Amino acid sequence: MGRSPCCDESGLKKGPWTPEEDQKLINHIRKHGHGSWRALPKQAGLNRCGKSCRLRWTNYLRPDIKRGNFTAEEDQTIINLHSLLGNKWSSIAGHLPGRTDNEIKNYWNTHLRKKLLQMGIDPVTHRPRTDHLNVLAALPQILAAANFNNLWTLNQNIQLDATSVAKAQLLHSMIQVLNHTSSSFLDIHHTNSNIVGHSSFFENRPNISENLYDPTQRLSHNDHQPVDSFSSPIGVFSHQDDQDMIPPLVSASLDESKQTQMMIKNKEILKHNDHTSNPSSTSTFTQDHQPWCDIIDHEASDSYWKEIIEQTCSEPWPFRE
């Protein structure tokens, strides 16, 4: 069963690399390229197995590796790609020039996973956690996340796609539930028809407490945006006359021709990416400043979120009569 490890021969060094070893490896690859990784250690005078050399090079020494903290934009890209691809770290890395799969994997496990958990989202399924009590317990974190604008407002021009808006609607409805359950247990005549993009679902909702959407938190990042709108981690809310109402979300419905165009474009891009698995080609794509949503298959995405929304709506509401 399985092959023996490539470097189980005695005498080969394991563990952290020293600067001298790094230098040897860099010098050798600069001069000769890596060629056969198995043969490389001997040629380079390293007492390591080829696999160890390859990993050290690809994960750390490669000159095109970007060092430093992940940007909010990168965070968002990773989260969205992970929701589509799962733990396909190499595929995700392909869309983040200069980042390695290992780095992204580590970053996910140590940062982003927790961030999603705090927002009440299951990092594995990217669905809302169904344990409402947990959500209630996590309310402060959810609210903190709601003020975490950097993730979402970094690029004002980024297109809001259906997925983003659906997520926005979802978190919005969660907050509604929380607000409802913590206030007067009013009957909610929610409809599961066309939850996205229309305000009927949100009409006549109970007031939301000021600490949920503190007006002082409202930001206007875009001159073209009405002053009475504000950004949240789940999208841009427009503020209505009634300050006590939860501001309705922006409509998710693109006009049909735009949607069709986007679908065609996305499929072309996905096709393109299938043929260009190497980082340089995908980095070209990313460097063109394509919004992340352009690389998402909208058909899959929409049906996926539709399913979530339908499930959410069909679930018995907590504390409901």
Partner DNA sequence: AATCGGGACAACCGCCAGGGT
Partner DNA sequence: TACCCTGGCGGTTGTCCCGAT
- Per CB under 7 A, residues contacting DNA are 1-3, 5-7, 13-17, 34-39, 48, 50-52, 54-56, 58-60, 87-91, 101-103, 105-107, 109-111, 114, 277
| Secondary structure element (H or E) that encloses residue 117, with its range | helix 113-118
- Closest approach, Cβ 104 to DNA, in A, equals 9
| Secondary structure element (H or E) that encloses residue 236, with its range | strand 235-238
State which residue, 51 or 306, has the beta carbon closest to DNA.
Answer: 51
Which residue do the tokens 């799962």 mark? 86
- Closest approach, Cβ 176 to DNA, in A, equals 31
Question: Which contacts (CB < 8 Å, 24+ apart) does range 156-160 have?
Answer: 156/221, 156/222, 158/291, 158/292, 158/293, 159/291, 159/293, 159/294, 160/235, 160/236, 160/250, 160/252
User: How many CB atoms sit inside 10 A of residue 206's CB?
Assistant: 17
State which residue, 9 or 288, has the beta carbon closest to DNA.
Answer: 9
State which residue, 102 or 179, has the beta carbon closest to DNA.
Answer: 102
> What are 241's two structure tokens?
């006359």
Residue type, 18: T
- Closest approach, Cβ 113 to DNA, in A, equals 9
State which residue, 74 or 103, has the beta carbon closest to DNA.
Answer: 103
Nearest to residue 78, comparing CAs of 112, 126, 123? 112
- Closest approach, Cβ 286 to DNA, in A, equals 16
State which residue, 39 or 300, has the beta carbon closest to DNA.
Answer: 39
- Closest approach, Cβ 50 to DNA, in A, equals 5
State which residue, 47 or 261, has the beta carbon closest to DNA.
Answer: 47
| Secondary structure element (H or E) that encloses residue 311, with its range | helix 298-314
Burial degree of 15 (CB within 10 A; 0-12, 13-18, 19+): exposed
- Closest approach, Cβ 278 to DNA, in A, equals 9
State which residue, 32 or 258, has the beta carbon closest to DNA.
Answer: 32
- Closest approach, Cβ 64 to DNA, in A, equals 14
How far apart are the C-alpha atoms of 185 and 71, rounded to whole Å? 41
